[in-house]
Amino acid sequence: MSRIAAKFESLRAQGRKALIPYVTAGDPNPDVTVPIMHAMVEAGADIIELGVPFSDPMADGPVIQRASERALAHHTSLRDVLEMVRAFRVNNQETPVVLMGYLNPIEVIGYETFAAAAAQAGVDAALTVDIPPEEAGELLPALNGHGLDAIFLIAPTTIGSRIETICKAASGFVYYVSLKGVTGASHLDVAGVEQKLNEIRSSTDLPIGVGFGIKDAATAAAVSKVADAVVVGSALVSQVEALADTPDAIAPALAELLAGMRQAMDANP
C-alpha cells in the first residue's frame, strides 16, 4: 500500500480528515524548507505538498508566484527539491510528500528519470498542474511504474464524463479546486463544494482533497466536514512572505497557523 493510501486509511479509522499544507520549496531560501516540513508535521499536517518553483506558474495567484520567484532567486531546481525530500526522509519515513508543480522542469529531466529519482528520494506523488489526463499518456506509466501516485485536479467547470476520465487516471487522492480562479482567491461556497464532491464520489472511491480558498481555521473546519482532506497553500505562503527577512520565525508561525486548523478540524462533531 502506498504511503498516501495508508495515511488515509489510518485517518479514516480515527474518524479524522487530512490536513495538507503547501509550501514552495526553497522559499524564501533552500535551507529553511526541511525544518519547515518537520514543523508542519508536528503541528498536525498529515501530508505535505511541496511546490516545485517554476518561472511561469500560470495557474497560481500572485502569492505563490512570488514564492516561486524567491525560490528561483536561489536557483532552486527540481533536483534540489528531490534532495530536500531525501533530507526530510532521514527523520520522517511516515508522512507522504506530494510534489506540486508544472511540467517543463520534469520534461527537461525526462519522465522516466524523474520518476525513478523522485521515488528514490522518498516522494510519494506528483501533481503536475498543466498536464491533463489526455496528455499524460507517457507521464502516467512512468510515475506509476515507480510506485508514485498521480494527483489530478478537478475544477468546478469539470463536468460529466470528464470527471470519470480524471478519476480513472488519478491515484492517491483527487484534488478538487473549490473555486474558479487561481490559487489564493477568495469566496468559498461550502454547500456548492459538497454538491460537487458527491458527484465526484459517484465516479471514484479515492479520497478527495479540497483546496484553493482555504485561509483560516474556520474555512478549514467547514471544508473538512465535506472533504477527506483540506489543502492550505496561499495562507501559509503569505506568512512565509511576511517573514522572509527573518527565516527562523517562519517554521513556528506556520506551525501555529496549522495547529489552529488542526484543532478546528478535529473539533468537528
- 241 is an active site residue: no
Residues 27, 60, 124, 149: which is the catalytic one? Answer: 60
CB of 234 to another protein, least distance (A): 13
The smaller minimum CB distance to another protein, of residues 129 and 254, is found at 129
Check if the beta carbon of residue 255 is closer than 8 Å to that of residue 237. Answer: no
Check if the beta carbon of residue 46 is closer than 8 Å to that of residue 95. Answer: yes
* Cis amide bond preceding 252, omega within 30: no
- 49 is an active site residue: yes
Residues 27, 46, 49, 228: which is the catalytic one? Answer: 49
CB of 77 to another protein, least distance (A): 4
Instruction: Give the DSSP H or E segment for 18.
Output: strand 18-24
Q: Using CA atoms, how far apart are residues 211 and 188, in angstroms rounded to an integer? A: 10
Instruction: Give the DSSP H or E segment for 97.
Output: strand 97-101
The smaller minimum CB distance to another protein, of residues 41 and 210, is found at 210
The smaller minimum CB distance to another protein, of residues 44 and 172, is found at 172
The smaller minimum CB distance to another protein, of residues 12 and 79, is found at 79
* Binding residues vs another protein (CB under 8 A): 53-59, 61-62, 65-66, 69, 72, 75, 77-79, 102-109, 129-132, 134-135, 152-155, 157-159, 162, 166, 177, 180-182, 185
The smaller minimum CB distance to another protein, of residues 62 and 192, is found at 62
3-state secondary structure of 158: coil
The cell numbers describing 77, all together, are 531546481
* Look-up of cell digits 488542526: 262
Sign of dihedral through CA atoms 120, 126, 130, 132?
positive
CB of 252 to another protein, least distance (A): 29
- What is the arrangement of strands in the sheet containing 48-51, beginning at the earlier edge strand? 149-151, 125-128, 97-101, 48-51, 18-24, 229-232, 208-211, 174-177, 153-154
Length of the chain: 269
Q: Using CA atoms, how far apart are residues 233 and 7, in angstroms rounded to an integer? A: 20
CB of 159 to another protein, least distance (A): 7
CB of 164 to another protein, least distance (A): 14
Residues that are catalytic: 49, 60
